[in-house]
Amino acid sequence: MKATILLSAVTLAFATVAHAQPRALNDQASIIDALDKGKRVAVTIDLRRCTPSNEGQAASQTVGGLTSIESYRVVDSTLSFADTHVTVSSQGKPINQILRYRVRQDGSITFTSTIFNLPDYSLVNQVSFECAIGNGVGFIAAK
């Protein structure tokens, strides 16, 4: 009997989480509010819809995202967070890529990708793009 009740409670809890509808976050305040409440916030990015920050910098066809913002900070009314990961370059060499997002109150976002060689951390490349919430960058919170 106890096992059946426990199994039913676990099944109900899983069903509730599995069917929770994600919610789009359309401004900086709602993103910060969700993060402050400990909600999982995913990020999608479509650099085809963003503008290169530096003159002469090429446009990008990159599309991707994060399943969850792990850490963040707010300083001078700007929400900042980053993702870093070790991967392999197209030449088969180990690299460390750091993706940085700066979200301002007006909804504008500066996205920067910095790539370092490993193990010496010499700079390989840095590109930066200007995007906006809902135009190049999307935020989705679990309910």
Q: Quote the CA–CA distance of 137 and 143 in Å, as a whole number.
A: 20
The answer to whether residue 3 sits within a structural domain is: no
pLDDT at 20: 61
Model pLDDT for residues 32-81, shown as the tens digit of each residue:
999 999 999 999 999 999 999 998 899 999 999 999 999 999 999 999 99
The answer as to whether 12 is a domain residue is no
> Is 135 part of any domain?
yes
Dig out the tokens for 79 from the structure.
């929400």
Counted domains in the chain: 1
pTM of the model: 0.82
Strands (E) in the chain, as ranges, are: 23-25, 41-46, 51-52, 63-66, 73-75, 78-88, 94-104, 108-117, 123-133, 136-141
What pLDDT is stored for residue 1 in this prediction? 44
Which position has the higher pLDDT, 2 or 138?
138
Answer yes or no: is 94 within a domain.
yes
In sequence order, which residues have a C-beta less than 8 Å from that of residue 85 and are 6 or more positions away? Answer: 96, 97
In a domain, 14, yes or no: no
Average of per-residue pLDDT values in the chain: 88
**pLDDT reported for residue 22:** 86
Q: Residue 40 belongs to what domain range? A: 22-141
Residue 7 lies in a domain: no
